[in-house]
Each structure stands twice: as structure tokens, then as C-alpha cells.
Structure 1
Amino acid sequence: MRPDKIKSIVKSDFFIAALITAVSFILVLLFCDIKYETGDDPIVEGILSGAFNGEYNPYMLFSNVLLGYVLVFLYSHTVNISWYFVNLMVMGILSVFTVNYICIKKNNRVVGALFAVLATVFLSNDLFILPTFTKTAAAAIAAGGLLLIEALFTTSAKTSSPPKPSASRIASIVLACILMLSGSLLRFLCVYLVAPFVALMFLLKVMPQWKDEKNVRIVLTRAGCCLLILMGLFSFRFIGIFIRNQSPEYKSFYRYNEIRAKITDTRKLSWDDYEKEFEANDLDVLDFLMFESWNFTDNDIYPIERLEEVGKIYQSTFENSAHPVARVIDAFLPPYFLMNPVFMSCFILGLVAVAIDRKSAGRVLLCFLGLFIMLCVFLYIGRYPYRVVYGLSFSLMVSILSCVSMRDIPGKGMQKALILLTAVLAAYQVPTYIKDQSYKDLPYNEYIIEANDIFSGSSAYDGIKYRYVITAADPYQNMIKHMENDSEHYYLCDFWTIIQGSFYYFSPWERIPLNYWNDNYFCLGGITMNYPDNQECWEDNGIDGLNPYKSLINDNVYVVDNHYTEVKFLYLREHYYTNVKIELVDVIDGFSIWKFYLE
């Protein structure tokens, strides 16, 4: 290749964006401990990798079965690799690269580099170090939406007309479609989270062009393309639903899962708030505790019709707990859920955008207004964990980037200020690469307690999670090895006891082995309640798949529970065995092992 050709490639927007993204990801690989943010992802990975029954399963809990088929193909033709996690990483890399590419392409090199560094510093940690499917899906859809709008509607400096088709623009549109489709397949509900911001980007691009009659037909045609792409996303969703509904057992599970979510995912209040409605429906405080602990897995005691009634109670009680406006205001004051670097970086970006392009001030304010409205919606419905706030903040950032274009080279004073700010942002990221290796300094038992305290709250932002080393420390190794080596017993683990801890024992890059949960242990209750493979796994171990609590007294069954042992004991006495007894067998790595038996 000729030197001038190499030089042109190195100077290209594509190369610079790829370089910034690659450097960021390589630094994470070298200096950070990559791990899942929530326990949901490793459970989905285990389903794909056949951990329940030795068969790769495409029916992911929250994702489109079409994505599941693609991943199962990869699982069945390779060994050891967790393709679910690789998919999250690839989507995250492409999302960050896309944002960086637009930053550099739309602006002069100084401003573009600043925006790209800012985006990488504040957006990449949640995609590279602490990923979860909700954040990754939202990022992919938002980045794809930004790229699509820019490719279709950005005007050139010389004319107000939309750009003509070219190879690079066609490639951009294809990548945009891939990102949006992959994000929607991973978590379709993120489409609703991101779509208002993409619509805002579209309107802010189209409105100035609409004034020129010559552009109307072109704009309408390309707007039609956007509509077709949106319809395509919904079409893939409906195809996935159609496929899963062909299996009666999975159709039943997904209906059950929707009803389960109305109970477990509705913002919680105290027993006093539910007491009247519960008693009117012949439910008591024990039932309330079973619902709160995600232990309502017995189908005979809690059939789906009963759960539907309970879900309505939870939702109506929450809606009537306060006036909607008061509920939103109470959540905003104090706004702890907004105290995170990603959200705060949007203010930095907004200020810088207005400073370098004052004409963009009105558009930037509209973007923040869009965020405010979306936050009010999620506060109203009571769903604003950090992963949702991250998705909204990512969408806000890309919508601001869409508003700003600074091609003129700024004055020397402004250049120096922008370069200094870029250096400060890069320096801000450095502490992220300094690992908190407490496991080397603390006694093992103290480290386990500290790690559990840090990672048990998956819905809130905590900066230490990104630096904290946990997977490399083999946490809970004594407990997990004990369960793995005990061939005489099967361990049913309380969902809240095990879900945010034990999975960090495994590297996210490696798949969970075939039949692993069938041979050793799994959650009692949780997000896989009524999942067919879970029921089959229990049946293989002599546990009633539909009513597992009946089997807690089996000779081969131990229960691991740190929180709701008494609730389980009282439940068994009330519904099955009046003479049931309980005995503490052992405590390993802070996990209490119990044996239920009949007197």
C-alpha cells in the first residue's frame, strides 16, 4: 500500500474513531475486572449454554428468540466461549465507535476529538466494564438512531438539501439498521425508551429543510425509510412472539413472566399499604412476604389467575399511594438517581455545545426537555433503576451531539481551552483503571461481606463497582465447590441470597457448563419461575417442578437461605406439613445451609 494511501486512512474519521474506541476497550481488558451488573445476564447465558438440561436453548428470558437462534448456533459450533457476553461486548464497542465517528465527522478535529473523548469516558464504562442487556440494548438503539438520522438528513455546508446517496452513507445506514435491530432483539422495551430522542433528532434535522419546497419530496421519502425501519423492528418482534407461541409451554411461561413482573417490578410499599386489599382477597402477611421475596413459585398455591389479581393489587396500591405529580416530585427531591457521571456528563456536553455553537442553544434545551419528560414518565410508573437512567442519558447525549456541528476551526484561545478540557476528561478516566484489589488485603471472610454489600444493590449507581475486583478473586469459592462436590444433595438457593453474588465466581467470557445447574444447585424462585427447563431440571432431581416447596423435605434437598428461612418454614407449615422442622446444616462463605424435615 502506498504511503499516501496509508496517510489518508490514518487521517480518516473512521480510523480516528476506531482508534479512540479500541484504545478505550484495550485499557479495560488490561486494567479492569469485567463483570455483569446484574444476575439476570448470567442466568440468560446459562439458558443458552444448556446449564439446565444439557440442551442449548434459544428462548432467552427477555430477548427475542431470533437472537437466541443465532447465539445457539454459535454455542453449538464452539466450546467454552460465552457468546451471549461476546455479543454484549461487540454491541457495546460498535455503539461507542458509532458515537465517536459522528462526533469526529460532524466537527473539526479539535471539537470532534473532545466530544469523542467525552463520550468514550462517560459512556463506555457501563458497556465495557459493567454491562447488562438493558444498557447495551439502549446504547445500540440510540447509537443506531443517531447514525441513521445523520446519514439521511445532515445537510452539507454548501447546500441546505439532504445528502445524496454514496457508498459511505449506504454503509452508515446499514450499520445503523444492524445496531437498532440487534438492540431491539436484545431488549425490545428499550425501543420505547430511546424512540422519543430519535424522533426529536429527526424533527430538529427535518424542520429547517422543510422550508425549502425542493427538499420536501426528498425529506418525505427518507422519512418513509425511517418509518419502514421502525416497522421492521416491530415485525421482528412479532415474528419472535409468533415463534415462541408455537410452543404451548413457552407461551405459558412468557404470559406467566409478564404477570410475575407486575408483582416483582412494581415499586414497593410497606405491608400496611397492602393489608386491606390483601385481606379482601384472602391473602395475609405470609403471602406478602412470599411475593416480596420472589418465592411464589408453587403453582397450586399461587396459580396464574391468582397472581394476576395480586399484580393488580400491587399496581393499584402504588398508583393510589400518592398523587401522580406528588409522586414525581418526591422522586426528584432529592434526585439521588441522577447522581452519576453519565447524567452529569450530559450537562458538560450541553454547556460545551452551546459555548462553541450558540445557535444550538435552543435545540440543546429541547433535548434536555425531552429527558425531563421521559424521566417524569419513568418516575410516574416507578421504574427508574440506574440501567434505565443510563439508557436515557445515553439517548440525551447522542441527541445533543446531533444538534451541534462545528466545522470552523476555533480561535487559538478556544482551541487551548478545548484541548485542556479533553486532557482533563482523559485524566478523569485514569482512576477507573486502578483496580480496588481488596481481596488481596482483607481476610477472605471480610472480603466476601464487603463484596456482597457492594454488588447486592444492582439497581443503583456505585462508582466502586467499576474498579472493584471480584471475578479474579474467585468469590464464594468454598460454597460453590462444596455444592459442586456434594453428589448426594441438590441445593435450592433463595433468589435474594444467591442472585447478586455467586455468579461472580465465573468469568463472564466463559459459558456455564452443560447440565451445571442440573447437577449442583439453582435458585428457588426468581426470574425463572415456571421456565420449562428449570422445571425439567428440578424433576430430574426428584423435585416437584410445579410445586417445588413440597419437595423441600426430600432427603436429597438442602436449602441455601440467608434472608427468608422463617418465611419458608411458616409457608410449609401452613400449606403442606404441620410437623415440619428445620435445622442449620452449615455456614460456608456466609451462606447458611438448611435442612427441612418432618418430625
Structure 2
Amino acid sequence: MNDKSKTHKFHITNFLKSPASLAILINLIILVLALVFCNIKYEVSDDYIVDSVISGAYTQKSIGYYDVHLLFSNILLGYPLKILYTLIPGISWYFVFIIGLSFVALTALTYVFIKRYGMGIFTYVYLIFLTYFSADLYVIPQFTKTSVAAAVAGGVLFISGLFSEQKKGRIINIILGSLIAILGIFLRFQAIFIALPFLFILFIFYSISSIKKSSFSSELKKIIIRFAACLFLIGIAYAGKYINKALWSRQSSYDNFRNYATLRSDITDVSFLGYDSVKEDFEAIGLNETDYLMFRSWCFMDRNVYDDATLSNVHKILKNASDKVTHNVNYLGENLLTRDYMRYRVCWGIFIIFVIMTILCPSGFAYYIISMLVALAGLLYFSWVGRVVYRVEYTIFISCAIVIMLCGNQVKDIPKQLKKAIKYISLTALLIQAFAFIPDSASKRTDEEYSQNIYDSLISSGSYNVKKYHTNVYDRQLYADFLRYVENNDDKYFVMDFSSSIQIMYFNYKPWERIPMGFFNENYMHFGSVTMQYPAEKQLLIDHGLDPNSPIKDLVNDDIYLVDNYYSDVKLRFIQKYYYPNARKELVDIVNGLYIWKIKKQ
């Protein structure tokens, strides 16, 4: 072997010995496999709408602009994203950020895991974790899932740095951990409330481990300093929240939107239990079943009828009705059973990790149980408030799995037979899970079957469905005939009911491609989404002759057409009740199963 070959081999060996290099390599392979072989799509339409906002899709094409006011995230993230959109406008940098932050979070976790356990039998534990939990971050990404994953991963790297006995790299770990955690919290501030309980368990574990290695008296001061460092990091997160609020408040139009969005989400995030549950209270404030259904369908954007005081009263009524049902021990138990967690692949991932870690590191059993009890408490809390959706459940489960993996200790003497058993169990579990990500064969389906399969698999964004991971949404354009119909009728403007359109139609647009500037100013818009009262949308409505404070009443305008499969009667009754008693509707056409209506005054 010549000197060049020896040098080359030496560099490769050193690379494979480096926990950081190995962590990057492992996660890079998984990311590339996901990008090449999986059908990546946003799990929820919220990310598509956020991307539309920052891309300027609601603005006029001729005077369009990128908007840094991210709907659910800190505006401080919007500024660097705006620069990237300006420099390279063809890419959805919001999507790149979501995937990139997930990659960095998983890489940080891998690094800490390898530093703690090395690359022996414990490698299978982490590969199971990556296989069972990375799909939700890469294949069906959603900002809530990414934010909590990053907050926990950053917190893990930060805490491991605080307790590290090796000076080399310690400061880097603390700084990088802080940055990852803050980015996760900036993506969605509420992530902090899910991440902190699990990180506190990890902090206690590291503290007790350090005391065992030394003594309580010698470690106490260090632990207090480390805890103070954690509080300082939390303080930075809260400072970011207040800076975000101040930046939003600079312009009254954005401040008004933010206040209205809070009122809107207070209503939409409450469980609707049927009109009978609120009938008396609704009638007491002058509302009836038509109004209830307007709220139920998220189409209550008439500020002349539903002013802020009315919205606040409606929230209280709905919340009280919901609390009467959800604040019940029997309901909590039934809800946990009906969620059927045994179907969830991530729950199987936790179970396998728990079993292997219990066998390899029985000393950490108490921490594993505590972590699972905290996860159970989180599930019960969200059931209690009536807000159980899969993306929130996932954040609890991944946090639990991370704590279980990291609360063990190194074990040197493991019987060969046990190693072999763990190896075979792990490989079997990995193979079973890997097949869930392979896209289905959509080409064999008719257009109707293709659309129906996507609808059945993905319409319920708040529920778990294993089909979400492998449903192919890019084989052909959904609602192609309808989109051509809209383009060919450029003298008309189509207002699309949110429930009838957005939950499926956004799959027409690949998440890595930027939504064109001025996109919704051309032929259609989604009615009743999270952008209600958003400044650019208000201007868009004005441009098309619709009153931004009462756009529903202007559905009677000659060039405005309603696309609605579910709530056209409700909208008509609303118009009849508050504006035009003799209003009526006519079915204009049905294209790709979408009903197109014309509302007339009489």
C-alpha cells in the first residue's frame, strides 16, 4: 500500500471515529433516501398558506412583495427567509427551512447519542428511532412537529454540553444547542410547553449522574449554575416572543390581523358538539343555527355581524359546552381508547426502544416510566382542553422517545445471544417500517380513483393514517379540469369554500416550489382560512369588489362565483338573514366533483 492510500485510509478512519461526522453521515443518508424515494407533502394546509403569505401570493403581481409576517412563527425568522426568496425566487425557502431544521435536530440527537453510547449494540436503538420518527419530519412535514423536535433536540445538545466533562467542543455544543432550540421555539412558541417537561427529566438525570460520580456538596453549585443557564435560555425564548409582538404591532393593519387571528383561533380550536349543546346560549345573544354553522365551517369573516365582542362571547359559549364534555374522567379514558394508539407507528417505535433500553440499561427504568407518565399526562391534558390532533400527539411521543434513549448508562458486558436477539428484532422492525414510506402505484388508478384515494388518505389532517406516508399526490394534477375551467373564465372570480378545497387542492403544488407572487389575485382564493383579515388578503378582496369586512354579502356580485360542496346553503341562509331576504342560489356547473354556485339577490 502506497503513502497516498495510507493517508486516504487514515482520513476515512478518523472521519468514522468522529461522532459529529457519523451523525451527519447517518442523517444525510436518511434525508437523501426520503428526498429520492418518498412522496413528500405537507401534512396540513397551514404550511402551504404560510408559504403563500411569505411568497407574496396574496399581493398584486405588479406590485407584489415578500411578507415577513409568518402567521404562526416569529417574524425574526421571516427576515432571513425574505432575503433568500429575493435572491433565489424559484425555491420555497420556508420548506427548505422546515426540512433543514428537522435534519439539524435529528443530527444533533444522533451526535449526543453516539457520544453517550458509542456505535455498538446501541446503534440499533437509534436507527429504530430515526426510522420510526423521521418520516413525520421529512415525508409529511408540519411546522408544529418540526418546532418541538428542534426545541427538544437543541435542549438535549445544550444540556449535554452543560454537563460535559470534556472541555473540547463543550462551548460549541452549548451554543449550537441554544441556536437549534431557539429556532424551534421561534417556529412555534408553544413548542416550549411540550419540550420543557421532558427536558427537565433529562436535566434531573444528568444532575443525579454527576452527583454519583462526585458528591452532592461538590456538584450542587455546578448544578445551580447549569440550571441558571437553562433559565437564561428560556428567557431568550420569551424575549424573542415579546420582540415578535412589538414588530407585529408597528403597523396597525398587522396588529389588527394578529388580534383578530387570536379571536378566530379561540373559536376554531374548540370542539364543536352540535347546535343543541349551545342553542340556548346562542339565542340569548341573538344567534341561531345558521350562525353556529358559519362558525363550524370557519366562514364567520363578517365583522359587521360578528364583531370582536360577539366572537369573544361565542368562544366562551363553545368553550363552556366543550368543557362540560371533556372535563370528565370517563371522557378522557374513552378518548384515549378511541385514538387507538396501537395503530401508531411511532408508538410501536417507543415500545421497541423502551424494551431494548430496559434490557440494556435497566438502571434507567425509573426515568423511562416517568417519561411515559409525562407523555400520558400530555395526552390527557390535550384531551381535557378538547385539542387532540396527531401532530400534537407526535410531538409528545418523539419527546418521550428521546428521553428514554438518553436516560440509560453505558453497559460493557452484554451477552452475545442478547446482542444477536436485539439485532434481529431491530432489523425486522426497521424493514417493516421502511415499507410504509414507499409511494403507492397511483398510475394504475383512474382520475376519479386517484382523487378519491388522496381524499380518503389525507382529508383528516388531525388524525393518524399510515396511508399519508405513501399516498402518491404528484402522479397527476388534482382537479385539472376545474383549474382549466377557472383559467378559461378569467372574467370571473371564484371564491372557494375552505372545507371544500384547500385540504386537498394544495397537493397540486409541490412544497419545494415557491407559490407565484400574486397567485390568488388572478382567478380564485380560499374563503375562510387562517388569513382572514390578513392585510394583503383584505386588499385582494377590495381589488375584486368584495368588502373585506363583509365579503359574504358580496357573493351576489355579478362576477363572483362560489365553489362549495358542503356549506352553500348555510352561506345563503346567512345572506338571507342579514342582507338580502330574497337571495337565492343557482348551480352553474360541477367540475371534478366541485360545485360552482351563483348567489343572486333575488
TM-score normalised by length of structure 1: 0.95
1:400 aligns with 2:404: yes
Task: Quote the residue 1:184 is aligned against.
Answer: 185
The answer to whether the Cα contact below 8 Å between 2:145 and 2:392 also exists between their aligned partners in 1 is yes
Using the alignment, how far apart are the partners of 1:514 and 1:305 within structure 2?
35
Using the alignment, how far apart are the partners of 1:430 and 1:262 within structure 2?
39
State the secondary structure of the residue aligned to 2:562. strand
1:376 aligns with 2:380: yes
Residues 446-461 of structure 1: pairs in structure 2 closer than 5 A? 446-461=449-464
1:8 aligns with 2:14: yes
1:106 aligns with 2:86: no
Match among 253, 258, 275 for residue 254 of structure 1: 258
How many residues align? The count is: 589
Residues 417-428 of structure 1: pairs in structure 2 closer than 5 A? 417-428=421-432
1:90 aligns with 2:94: no
Task: Quote the residue 1:50 is aligned against.
Answer: 56
Backbone CA RMSD of aligned residues:
1.6
Using the alignment, how far apart are the partners of 1:102 and 1:405 within structure 2?
13
**CA deviation string 1:369-401 (max 9, x = no partner):** 111222221111111100000000011011112
What amino acid maps onto 2:489 in structure 1? D
**Larger deviation: 507-516 or 339-348?**
339-348
1:199 aligns with 2:205: no
The answer to whether the Cα contact below 8 Å between 1:337 and 1:386 also exists between their aligned partners in 2 is no
The answer to whether the Cα contact below 8 Å between 1:37 and 1:130 also exists between their aligned partners in 2 is yes
1:135 aligns with 2:141: no
**CA deviation string 1:153-198 (max 9, x = no partner):** 25xxxxxxxx2432x2222222211211111111111111111111
The answer to whether the Cα contact below 8 Å between 1:492 and 1:559 also exists between their aligned partners in 2 is yes
State the secondary structure of the residue aligned to 2:496. strand
1:344 aligns with 2:344: no
1:327 aligns with 2:317: no
Using the alignment, how far apart are the partners of 1:322 and 1:410 within structure 2?
47
1:356 aligns with 2:354: no
**CA deviation string 1:449-478 (max 9, x = no partner):** 221122110001111111110034222222
The answer to whether the Cα contact below 8 Å between 1:9 and 1:15 also exists between their aligned partners in 2 is yes
Match among 60, 70, 81 for residue 70 of structure 2: 60
Using the alignment, how far apart are the partners of 1:506 and 1:334 within structure 2?
33
Using the alignment, how far apart are the partners of 2:116 and 2:582 within structure 1?
73
The answer to whether the Cα contact below 8 Å between 2:363 and 2:409 also exists between their aligned partners in 1 is no
State the secondary structure of the residue aligned to 1:384. coil
Q: Which runs of 5+ in 1 are unaligned?
A: 155-162
The answer to whether the Cα contact below 8 Å between 2:326 and 2:384 also exists between their aligned partners in 1 is no
State the secondary structure of the residue aligned to 2:33. helix
The answer to whether the Cα contact below 8 Å between 1:273 and 1:317 also exists between their aligned partners in 2 is yes
The answer to whether the Cα contact below 8 Å between 2:42 and 2:140 also exists between their aligned partners in 1 is yes
The structural deviation recorded for 1:407 is 4.7
Calculate percent identity across the aligned residue pairs.
31
The answer to whether the Cα contact below 8 Å between 2:266 and 2:315 also exists between their aligned partners in 1 is yes
The structural deviation recorded for 1:537 is 0.9
Using the alignment, how far apart are the partners of 1:462 and 1:17 within structure 2?
30
The answer to whether the Cα contact below 8 Å between 2:131 and 2:434 also exists between their aligned partners in 1 is no
State the secondary structure of the residue aligned to 1:56. coil
Match among 478, 482, 486 for residue 485 of structure 2: 482
The answer to whether the Cα contact below 8 Å between 1:497 and 1:563 also exists between their aligned partners in 2 is yes
Using the alignment, how far apart are the partners of 1:546 and 1:559 within structure 2?
18
Match among 543, 551, 554 for residue 551 of structure 1: 554
**Larger deviation: 46-55 or 361-370?**
361-370
The answer to whether the Cα contact below 8 Å between 2:347 and 2:397 also exists between their aligned partners in 1 is yes
Match among 97, 111, 127 for residue 117 of structure 1: 127
Match among 280, 295, 298 for residue 294 of structure 1: 298
Match among 242, 247, 251 for residue 238 of structure 1: 242
Using the alignment, how far apart are the partners of 1:212 and 1:446 within structure 2?
66
The structural deviation recorded for 1:535 is 0.7
Using the alignment, how far apart are the partners of 1:55 and 1:11 within structure 2?
48
1:282 aligns with 2:286: yes
TM-score normalised by length of structure 2: 0.95
The structural deviation recorded for 1:237 is 1.0
Task: Quote the residue 2:308 is aligned against.
Answer: 304
Task: Quote the residue 1:528 is aligned against.
Answer: 531
Using the alignment, how far apart are the partners of 2:485 and 2:173 within structure 1?
52
**CA deviation string 1:81-125 (max 9, x = no partner):** 000100011011112222222222211422331122111111110
The structural deviation recorded for 1:557 is 0.7
Task: Quote the residue 1:469 is aligned against.
Answer: 472
The structural deviation recorded for 1:127 is 0.5
Distance 1:148 1:117, change over 3 A: same
The answer to whether the Cα contact below 8 Å between 1:244 and 1:251 also exists between their aligned partners in 2 is yes
Task: Quote the residue 2:441 is aligned against.
Answer: 437
The structural deviation recorded for 1:231 is 0.5
Using the alignment, how far apart are the partners of 1:337 and 1:300 within structure 2?
44
Distance 1:451 1:363, change over 3 A: same
What amino acid maps onto 2:46 in structure 1? D
Distance 1:583 1:330, change over 3 A: same
Using the alignment, how far apart are the partners of 2:30 and 2:15 within structure 1?
20
Distance 1:250 1:447, change over 3 A: same
Task: Quote the residue 1:385 is aligned against.
Answer: 389
Residues 509-588 of structure 1: pairs in structure 2 closer than 5 A? 509-588=512-591
Task: Quote the residue 1:165 is aligned against.
Answer: 167
**Larger deviation: 254-263 or 334-343?**
334-343
